[in-house]
Each structure stands twice: as C-alpha cells, then as structure tokens.
Amino acid sequence: MNDAFEGNYDTFKALLDSFPPTEVVKRLEQFGIPADVIQRIQERHEAETIKIKEMEEPQAVVLGNRDTWYTGPRPGDRCWPAVVDLLRKDGWPKDPAIDSLDTSSTRVMSLLNHPQEKSFSTRGLVVGYVQSGKTTNFTAVMAKAADRGYKLFIVLAGVHNGLRRQTQARLVQQLVQPNPSRWSQLTDLAKDFTPTANAAAFFGKSNKTHVLCVVKKNKIVLEKLAGWLDSASAYLLDCPALIVDDEADQATVATKSINPLIRALLASLPKSAYVGYTASPFANLLIDPTAKDLYPEHFIVNLPKPHGHFGTEVLFGRYALDGEDPEDVDDGYDMIREVPKEDVECLRPPRRTEVEDFAPEITETLQDSIDYFWLSTAARRVRGRGNPHATMLIHTSVNTAVHNSFKAPLEHLRARLRTSLNEPSILEGLRVLWDKETARVPAGDFGETKVEFDDLVGELPGVLDDCRIIMDNSSSDDRLDYENGPIVAIAVGGNTLSRGLTLEGLSVSFFVRAVSAYDTLLQMGRWFGYRNGYADLPRIWMTAELKDWFRHLATVETEMRRDIDVYMTEDKDPLTFAVRIRTHPALRVTQAAKMKDAVTAASSYGGQRVQTRYFRTDEDWLRENQQAARGLVASAVQHAARREDRPEAGRFVFRDVPYNDVIDFLKSYQFHPKSQECNSRLLVGYIEKRAHNAGSLRRWNIAIVGNPVTSDEETFEFAPGVSVGRITRARLITSELDYADIKTLMSRRDAAIDLAGETSKLQEKEITDERRRQLPDTGLLVLYPIDKVSQPSPAKKTRTALDVPEHVVGVGLVFPLPQGKDSAVEDYISADLSGIEIEEEDFSAVEAEDSA
C-alpha cells in the first residue's frame, strides 16, 4: 500500500501544495504512511519544485560579474509594468530615468534568492543619495519580486509617523491600486500595524495575494508584528519574504530595542531577504561581520547618481581622489552663503540651560535668506512650471522649544513686509538682493531664463499671503502637508524633517545646526534632491565650518562608493573586502556605539598618495617651508645616486636619496592642521617603522614639478642649477583668511614621474602595479613651487587668487604597497570636543512616539 501510495504522486501532491509541510506530515501519518516513505515523498516534491524553477528561470546567467537567476522583467509581469505606467504619467522619460530605474532594480533583484528555494536568509545593503529616489527604487524591486513570487513584503519605514505615512501612500499608489486584487494590506494611512484575528489566512495556499505591511521602527509595533507572525509560523515555511529597511542606519544598528526585534522578525521567516536602503551607510558598514547581526554579508550596491540630482558634490564640490586630475573635479555650484560665527548665538542658545528663555534674533543673513525665499517663490510663479510647492527650511537646533521660539518673529517679519511692499526703500532693497543673487548664479547655466525683478514683484503679495510659518516637530501638531494643494511654507524643525521625509519644492535652507557625525550631517541636508524648473534658484545659508565639513563629506562619499563598486567589478564580496571610510579630525563617522567593532586604520599609508591642500597665509610660515624644501633639495643634490634634469619640462628627479633626508624634511616642513592626511609625526613614524622592521622606504626619489622656465621672474630656485617655473593653484573662495585651500595639488601623471616607460596614460591601479614592479621599496616625494598670486581661470567661478605674501611649496608623497610585514603606525587622532556642546538625536524620544 505504501509503495502504491508513493507511486500515485499526483494523489497527494495537492496536499503538499495546499498545506504547510508540518500539516502534510500529520495527515500522511494519519493514513499510516511510514516516516521513511514520507521523507521520500517530500524529497520528490522538492525535486519537482526544482524542475519547475529551472523551467521558469535560467539556472545561471551572468549579470555584471555575478551569476544570477533573475534576468529582468518578463512578458506577463503585472506589478512592474504598472509602476512604469504610473511613472510615465508623472512625466518620467524612458531614457534615462525609467531605463536607469529598471537597470538598478534588476541589479538588486539579481542578488536576491529565487523565491522557490527551500530556505534562504539574505542580507544586503543598497546605498543611494539623499533625496534621490530610494523609495522609487525599492518600490521597483518590490514590484519585480512580487512578479516572481515573493509573497510577504515588510517595509520598515524610518522612525517617524510622517515618513511611514508617506511611504505607505507611495506604495499603495504604485503597487496596490494598479492591481488591487493581487494585494492584501496589513497597514493603511491612518494607522500602523494592528494584529488581525487570523494571521494564517493571509499565508495559506488559498490566498494568492501579496501581503504588504509598512511599519515604523518602533518597539511596540515590531513586537506586535513579530507575535502576529509567530501565530502563523506553520504557514511561513513556504512564504518568501522581502524586508526593506528604509533609513537602514537609523535605529537599526546598535540599538537595544529595535535591532533585536528586527533580527527576531527575520529569524521567524525561513525564506527571507533583508535589504537595507540608506544614503548614509556608515553604521551599516561597521557592523561586526562575525556577529549574528545585520551586516550586509551578501551584497552592497550603489544606486547610480540620478540625472539632475543636487547632491553633496554638486553643491559643495569635493577634493580630487587618487588617480583623478584636479581639473576634472568640479568645485560645486555657487549657491552657498555664509552665516558669520557671531550670528550663531543669536539663532540658537549656546547652552542647554538657556533653552527655555531663548528668543531668536532675525540676523541680517536670516533676513536675506527669508527675503530671497519669497523672491524666488515669486519668480517660480512667473515661470509657471515645475513643482507647485515652495518650501524653506530653518534648522538651527534639535530642541523643540527653540523651534517654537521662531514662530512669532517670523510671523512678524512676514506681516511687516506685506504692509511695506509699496515703500520704495523696501522694494529697492529686495531688487538689490535679487539682482546680486541672480548675477552670482546665472539662470542660463541651467537652461533657464532669468526672471526680472519687475516681473516678479507683482507676485510677491500673493506669495506672502499664502506663506505659512510651520513648526514641524514632535511637540507640535502642525505638519507640512503637501496632499491638499500647493503650499508656500517656511518650516522650522529638527529630527522630524531630517530623515527620509521629502520637503517638496525646497528652494532655500538656513542651517546652523551643530552636528558631530557624518551620518547626522548628511541626513540633515534636506536640500539635496531634484529642482526641475528652478535649478538656478536653490540657496543654502550655513557657517564656513559646516560648508567645509560638507565638502569633506562629499569626498568621503565618493571614495566610499568607489570601494563599493569593487563588489560589482571584481571577485569580492562584503566578507572578503571591507569598505573603507575616511575619517575627519572634528567629526565622528557615526555614533560611538555603532563604531565599537570598527578597526581603526587612519594612519596606514601603504599604497597611498597624500598631498598638501591647506596652507597658512602668513609670510614667516611660508618662508620656513621654502627653506625646508631647499634644504631637502640640497641634501638630494649631495646624496642622490643619480639625477635627471629636464628643465625644459619643468621637471627634476633625484634618485635613491636616503630616507633620513626625507625624515629631516618632514620634521622641518610645517603642514597645516587641516591637512589631516599630512601629519608629520604619523608620517615620520610610519616611514621609520617600515624602514627598520621591513627594510622598506630606506631610499626615496625626490622630484620637483613646475613649469618650463620662460623668464627669471617666474622662476623658483631650489638650489644652484635647480630652478623651475612656478605653477598656479588658485584657492577656493572662503571667508577664512588665515589659510588657503587649493583643493588638490598632485595629478596622476606626477605620481608616476619616477617610473620608466610611457606612463601618461596609466590608470591609478596600473601606476601602483608598475611601482610595485619597478620600485617596490622606494618612496616618492614631490615638491611643487606655487606662485603666490595664482590667478584662477575665468571658468573657475568658485576660485579666487591665492594672493599670499610668499610663494608656496606644496608636497606630495607616494608610498609603495608593503611587501612584507606592514609596519603601519597604530595611532589615533581625534578633536577635543569637550568644550563644544553638540546636540545629538534623542532616540528615546523617537521610540516614545505614538505607535498608532
């Protein structure tokens, strides 16, 4: 009987398709089927399932450098085509926007497991840009996953109700409404997750719908969801689940309540794919890979930079990375306006004890920013296209009492201007501001036409009448609501406006919030995003320090993304190659608890190229550095094994100079404190340890890079017979007068100056490989004589003349990769923050938010 029953496979196949495996086993046992026969039945069913899978999808297709089962959308898909139709109705062009979304979401899908696999537990991370369309990307991934058979979709939508509702609305619009019969919803706009009576009904074989659940990362909510899923555990064995963690670095990592609950949630799902989405992945990249945590061990991918997106680099510029020509790196748009240091105490209380009695002052810069917001909004009304909303963000503090203190002064400012619009002096002041701003950022550079003041002034009364002053914070019922028609709003807020939530039509930001970490700083930048129809009009008011931090952060981002791209181009994964994050002397990478498992390697120079970027502007300092450089060249002339003179090219190379000469130079040459990579003590220590312990870096090549000599007036003499023409390095425009920031000194070509053969076309990795082959133990030090005037080219609008009292000597160093024992200097540097009161995000307040 058993053999006959086993042979009649179709008789009981319906059982296997209709019930969880545990239930099938019980029923077969009731028929008296022995355990070994039941096992053979299950094995055959699994084999049949695999055959079906192989017929549905190719067994292995290479996409990028990875094998995958997923090759892209197929005829007959329902969810992804519906998303495409909605995007087209919203004006998305097929090329490049929809095609790029299709490609990037397919890339993510290709890294997930096939939903018919017996069991899986995937951990991945997707890195986007702030306000760049991450929600649209994971919506596309969810649509494609639904088309392939994933059933349960849980979206962890940040920690605030506003972002959860916004995400719920987007997913309902793009996934549920086009195919309502295919979806069941566990949450809606009005409320977060509330358990239903019969969880199993959602996951049984008879229910063919996809299940959507959008929840906050809130302890109470996640406990209710986990308990509800446990009640249906028998039915989850064959339930492929995709968990999307939006803002994956917030609350998810190193938290005592949220993190364990997310991991428990995943553990209850035998077939689960967890994919974190964030624009600030620093905390996620530093999770201990050996722990049973949420380290993205299976994949990390970059989303492509969207066309027309205003990101960190676009607005603030960045420094050139190794292998880049400085001339090819943009300085950013001229849209940043400086808030003087002395204004800050007028805009936020210097101490917590002064919060309750604080009364803000409308400083000149704040007044200009607000007036400009109203003017730019009027100009957009004249143009009559683009985003119908207009928003200004004022963010000076995390404290809600400080936010609320701005309400009356801003209302008074609006009312006063509204009653004064007919006064000639007021109109003249507004005209001067408008003409100054539109001259600094020409509309024509963005394909727009300047709106003349006389054309916009008629729109100002309507703009002022429509403008609302909104205190958007956890203690206020007032919220930015873009769903009930176009709005004009000046929003004052903090944490509720700093994560995920899109500020529609944001054109002006006034930002003096004190921050201490990369991720906090980056997420505060609500000004990132798209500015269709008004790309020439955005402006940001902030301190010079914050501007410098954002420029550094743009460099960190680019460097980090370069590392992440290694996963897609080489045979590496997050368990064999760790993404590196550049540090900063005044900023933490992320919260201390999130870095507890990180490895510090800030001062290891093996295989790196470092260079001076900042210079003091006082005469004595510059002269002392000239003297140090001349001393090094004099030693090189005396001690070099041979020299190569090419004055016609402005080049000299002295070969095999003893490392002691280099160390003496590094001890006498003064690096600016802001040049964090160029720390004399760390450099000397690193060279000495490698020389003593590994026998490397005992010989150096000293090079001089200048221009060909055309006249004595343009010459810089390092030693008798060693003269070159001075080069030009203009400085970035900044209010800081005690130092000059030239951004980047050294080119890739210079890093290969001492290599034999044709090197002009070598890429960075090729230069490193050639140095390892030709000069495996030899360092390179390059001196640059920079003209003290250094006028910029007209095209460099964010540059000004160097204009220092003495010619500058810049320094670049190229280190070979360690060949044996790496003698990295194990040293730790950090800024002394004891005298600065930094406002941190209050997660206890976040988690206490109403869970309904």
CB under 8 A, 24+ apart: contacts of 841-845: 841/398, 841/495, 841/520, 842/398, 842/495, 843/159, 843/251, 843/255, 845/474
> Is the distance from CB of 277 to CB of 134 less than 8 angstroms?
yes
Structure tokens that stand for 776 in this block: 């495996």
Examine the fold and report which residue of 56, 75, 97 is the final residue of a domain before the chain moves on.
Answer: 56
Examine the fold and report which residue of 508, 527, 542 is the final residue of a domain before the chain moves on.
Answer: 542
262: CB partners within 8 A, 6+ apart: 156, 217, 222, 243, 245, 252, 274, 294
Each residue's pLDDT tens digit, 373-411: 999 999 999 999 888 999 999 988 888 888 889 999 999
Do 646 and 786 belong together in one domain?
Answer: yes
> Is the distance from CB of 27 to CB of 19 less than 8 angstroms?
yes
What pLDDT does 248 receive?
A: 94
377: CB partners within 8 A, 6+ apart: 390, 459, 463, 467, 488, 507
Half-sphere exposure of residue 643, counting CA atoms within 13 Å on the CB side?
A: 20
Examine the fold and report which residue of 517, 542, 567 is the final residue of a domain before the chain moves on.
Answer: 542
Number of folded domains that form the chain: 3
Low-confidence winner among 65-69, 432-436, 532-536, 583-587 (lowest mean pLDDT): 65-69
Tally of CB atoms within 10 A around 738: 8
* Cα–Cα separations (whole angstroms), residue 659 to 148, 201, 431, 640, 761: 62, 75, 62, 11, 30
Q: When comparing pLDDT for 64 and 579, which is higher?
A: 579
Which run of H or of E encompasses 301?
Answer: strand 299-302
172 in a structural domain: no
228 in a structural domain: no
Report strand pairing: 152-157 vs 241-246.
Answer: parallel
Do 527 and 613 belong together in one domain?
Answer: no
DSSP secondary structure, 526-580, as one string? TT-EE-TT-TT--EEEE-HHHHHHHHHHHHHHHHHHHHHHHHHHSS--TTT-PPP
Residue 843 scores a pLDDT above 60: no
* Cα–Cα separations (whole angstroms), residue 474 to 46, 156, 161: 52, 20, 10
What pLDDT does 786 receive?
A: 96
| DSSP-assigned letter for residue 793 | P
Do 488 and 352 belong together in one domain?
Answer: yes
Do 618 and 532 belong together in one domain?
Answer: no
Cα(552)–Cα(333) distance, integer angstroms: 16
Three-state DSSP state, 584? strand
Each residue's pLDDT tens digit, 181-202: 999 999 999 889 999 888 989 9
Report strand pairing: 609-611 vs 808-814.
Answer: antiparallel
> Is the distance from CB of 497 to CB of 396 less than 8 angstroms?
no
351 in a structural domain: yes
Tell which residue, 274, 164, 266, has the closest CA to residue 216: 164
Do 530 and 385 belong together in one domain?
Answer: yes
354: CB partners within 8 A, 6+ apart: none
Cα(137)–Cα(150) distance, integer angstroms: 17
- Which residue is associated with the tokens 């200004």? 392
pLDDT band at 499 (very low <50, low <70, confident <90, very high): low
469 in a structural domain: yes
Residue 172 scores a pLDDT above 90: yes
Averaged pLDDT, 415-419 = 96
Tell which residue, 654, 659, 385, 676, has the closest CA to residue 548: 676
What pLDDT does 187 receive?
A: 96
> Is the distance from CB of 338 to CB of 363 less than 8 angstroms?
no
10: CB partners within 8 A, 6+ apart: none
What pLDDT does 171 receive?
A: 97
| DSSP-assigned letter for residue 517 | B
User: Omega of the bond prior to 424 within 30 degrees of 0, cis?
Assistant: no
Please, is 641 exposed, middle or buried when counting C-beta atoms within 10 Å of its C-beta (0-12, 13-18, 19+)?
A: exposed
What pLDDT does 763 receive?
A: 76
Helices 407-419 and 364-383, packing angle to 10 deg: 60
DSSP secondary structure, 97-121, as one string? IIHHHHHHHHHHHTTSPPTTSS-EE
Each residue's pLDDT tens digit, 439-451: 999 999 999 999 9
Structure tokens that stand for 535 in this block: 């790309």
Low-confidence winner among 45-54, 501-510, 800-809 (lowest mean pLDDT): 45-54
Q: When comparing pLDDT for 791 and 8, which is higher?
A: 791
Tell which residue, 185, 155, 181, 161, has the closest CA to residue 172: 185
Each residue's pLDDT tens digit, 348-381: 888 878 888 888 999 999 999 999 999 999 999 9
What pLDDT does 92 receive?
A: 87
Please, is 586 exposed, middle or buried when counting C-beta atoms within 10 Å of its C-beta (0-12, 13-18, 19+)?
A: middle
716 in a structural domain: yes
> Is the distance from CB of 161 to CB of 850 less than 8 angstroms?
yes
Cα(140)–Cα(79) distance, integer angstroms: 9
Half-sphere exposure of residue 840, counting CA atoms within 13 Å on the CB side?
A: 13
Each residue's pLDDT tens digit, 240-296: 999 999 999 999 999 999 999 999 999 999 999 999 999 899 888 888 888 889 989
pLDDT band at 570 (very low <50, low <70, confident <90, very high): low
Handedness of CA 252, 302, 332, 91 (dihedral sign): negative
Do 523 and 614 belong together in one domain?
Answer: no
- Residue 346 CA, distance from chain mean position: 31
Do 639 and 491 belong together in one domain?
Answer: no
Q: What is the mean pLDDT of the chain?
A: 85
What pLDDT does 825 receive?
A: 41
110 in a structural domain: no
Do 354 and 497 belong together in one domain?
Answer: yes
Each residue's pLDDT tens digit, 101-119: 999 999 999 999 999 999 9
Question: Taking CA 673 as the corner, what is the angle to CA 668 and CA 674, rounded to the nearest 5 degrees?
Answer: 135
User: In which domain, by residue range, is 694 found?
Assistant: 609-814
Structure tokens that stand for 196 in this block: 């239903």
Cα(752)–Cα(296) distance, integer angstroms: 37
Handedness of CA 159, 148, 120, 44 (dihedral sign): positive
Do 536 and 615 belong together in one domain?
Answer: no
pLDDT band at 140 (very low <50, low <70, confident <90, very high): very high
* pTM for this prediction: 0.69
Residue 56 scores a pLDDT above 50: yes
571 in a structural domain: no
What pLDDT does 58 receive?
A: 53
Q: What is the 3-state secondary structure (H, E, C) of 348-413?
A: CCCCHHHCCCCCCCCCHHHHHHHHHHHHHHHHHHHHCCCCCCEEEEEECCCCHHHHHHCHHHHHHH
- Residue 56 phi, psi dihedral angles, 5° rounding: -75, -35
| DSSP-assigned letter for residue 725 | E
- Which residue is associated with the tokens 């009292």? 805
Residue 828 scores a pLDDT above 50: no
What pLDDT does 794 receive?
A: 83
Tally of CB atoms within 10 A around 631: 17
What pLDDT does 798 receive?
A: 73
Residue 832 scores a pLDDT above 50: no
- Which residue is associated with the tokens 């916009």? 456
What pLDDT does 820 receive?
A: 54
Which run of H or of E encompasses 21?
Answer: helix 21-30
478 in a structural domain: yes
Q: In what order do the strands lie in the sheet with 241-246?
A: 183-185, 210-215, 152-157, 241-246, 271-278, 120-127, 299-302
Which run of H or of E encompasses 222?
Answer: helix 219-230
Do 377 and 520 belong together in one domain?
Answer: yes
DSSP secondary structure, 450-488, as one string? PPPHHHHGGGHHHHHHHEEEEEESTT-S-----SSS--E
Structure tokens that stand for 161 in this block: 């109700």
> Is the distance from CB of 193 to CB of 261 less than 8 angstroms?
no
Tell which residue, 526, 528, 519, has the closest CA to residue 553: 519
Q: When comparing pLDDT for 310 and 698, which is higher?
A: 698
Do 526 and 614 belong together in one domain?
Answer: no
- Residue 570 CA, distance from chain mean position: 22
pLDDT band at 26 (very low <50, low <70, confident <90, very high): confident
Structure tokens that stand for 636 in this block: 């090189």
pLDDT band at 626 (very low <50, low <70, confident <90, very high): very high
